[in-house]
A and B are shown apart, each in its own frame.
Chain A
Amino acid sequence: MVARDGGVKGLTEILSIRDMPLDCKILLVQELGYRSDGVFVLEKNGDRLLDRYTKEPVQLANMAILPGSTVIIDDNPLSIASFLEEYGDVIKPSC
């Protein structure tokens, strides 16, 4: 089956935001209920959002926004592996 975006229904498209302009990244995290000071992702109360696995502050330049319950983590291999272990295979690559 084909979804509206041309991808296969039920699969998650993994989108690179490496070349996304900074202002757009800020807008993206705002749309998801977070904030940013231009470098770090911030909680609603202004605290720096900590990666749930490494406990390091998440930067706009290294973030991964993954489905589940809007999880924003650092995109290092340890955090990605930990996410996949916690949430299972919620990401099924279409590419």
Chain B
Amino acid sequence: MSSNPAVEGAVKAATEVTIKWTAEKIKEYVVKFRHRDVAFVEDVATIQLALKQRKTSEYKIFKDNIEDGRLRILFQLGLTLRGIEKDTEKCKNLRNTIVKKYGTQGLHISQFVQNGIFAKLLATYLEKGLTPEQMKAEIWNLFQHVDQTNSFVQAGDDEQKVADAIVTRIQSHSPKTYSISGLKSVKENVRRIAKMVLRRIDGYSPEAYDTDIRVIVFLNRIDDETVKKKRFKRH
């Protein structure tokens, strides 16, 4: 046993609480740490969830296509938000941490992933038979314009204002797809907002995905000549 008072204090305290942690045990584990045989964490669940997410096809497809470290972190945090979304408090804390570090735009990128919008759009890209290069370009473009092509409805949002903003964005950019999504208590609000928008724009058809926890309404641009002419006339 060491004669170092700090060590003896530690051993004493350890013995009082548990016999597992002694000065010798700590030194033994530090040697293991230096050989990369062990990592110390407060909350094992957090790191296990992160490691599990990095093994998913959704993450690997994104990682293979996007080299930007910031986007990869925000993507992973989106998967984390999805993994903890039943824990309102944990979700709120993580959303705040994301906003503090990456701003509202960063949060929207994570929410885009959390709500499964990327996964759904990926399926449409695969159906189109894009080449790997086209797929890479589409994914990059998608994440560069998250704020222009998606709305994440929150409790307390003014539905009319959200609908107005969506109409303005659609009329300005004519995106191929615009998504409106929300969780739990705002699911009905999302549906109402989508209806309000559809009443005011031409050339888009809705496609809704509804689960117990979330709803996503995609507004898909209809690319036929009649609609194009109508849209041209209106401008």
Contact = CB atoms under 8 A, between A and B. Distances in A.
B41 A75 contact: yes
A21 B38 contact: no
A75 B46 contact: yes
Instruction: Indicate the member of B37, B40, B46, B93 with the most A CB atoms within 10 Å.
Output: B40
A14 B73 contact: no
Contacts, number: 147
Interface in B36-83: 36-44, 46-51, 54, 69, 72-73, 76-77, 80
B60 to A, nearest CB: 12
A16 B84 CA distance: 20
| Interface band, chain A | 35 or more
A84 B76 contact: yes
A67 B39 contact: yes
B89 to A, nearest CB: 13
B39 A14 contact: yes
Contacts of A75: 41-43, 46-47
Q: At the interface, is chain B mostly helix, strand, loop or mixed?
A: helix
Interface in A53-69: 53-54, 61-67
Interface stretch (B26-34, B117-125, B142-150, B157-165): B26-34
B23 interface: yes
Contacts of B10: 21, 23-24, 26-27
B140 interface: no
A12 B9 contact: no
B6 A30 contact: yes
Given A53-B101, A54-B100, A61 B42 contact: yes
A18 B43 CA distance: 7
Nearest to B21: A24
A27 B44 contact: no
A81 B42 contact: no
Instruction: Indicate the member of B12, B17, B41, B100 with the most A CB atoms within 10 Å.
Output: B41
Contacts of B32: 5, 13
Contacts of B37: 3, 5, 7, 12-13
B213 interface: no
A15 B41 contact: yes
B50 A77 contact: yes
24 contacts: A5-B32, A5-B38, A12-B38, A12-B39, A13-B37, A13-B39, A15-B38, A19-B18, A20-B21, A21-B17, A23-B13, A24-B10, A28-B30, A54-B101, A64-B40, A70-B33, A75-B47, A77-B50, A77-B77, A77-B80, A82-B73, A84-B50, A85-B73, A93-B47
Interface of A: 3, 5, 7, 12-24, 26-28, 30-32, 53-54, 61-67, 70, 75-78, 80-82, 84-86, 89-91, 93, 95
Interface of B: 6-7, 9-10, 12-14, 16-18, 21, 23, 26-27, 29-30, 32-33, 36-44, 46-51, 54, 69, 72-73, 76-77, 80, 84, 93-94, 97-98, 100-101
9 closest A-B pairs by beta carbon, nearest first, are: A23-B13, A23-B10, A65-B40, A27-B10, A67-B36, A81-B76, A64-B41, A24-B21, A21-B13
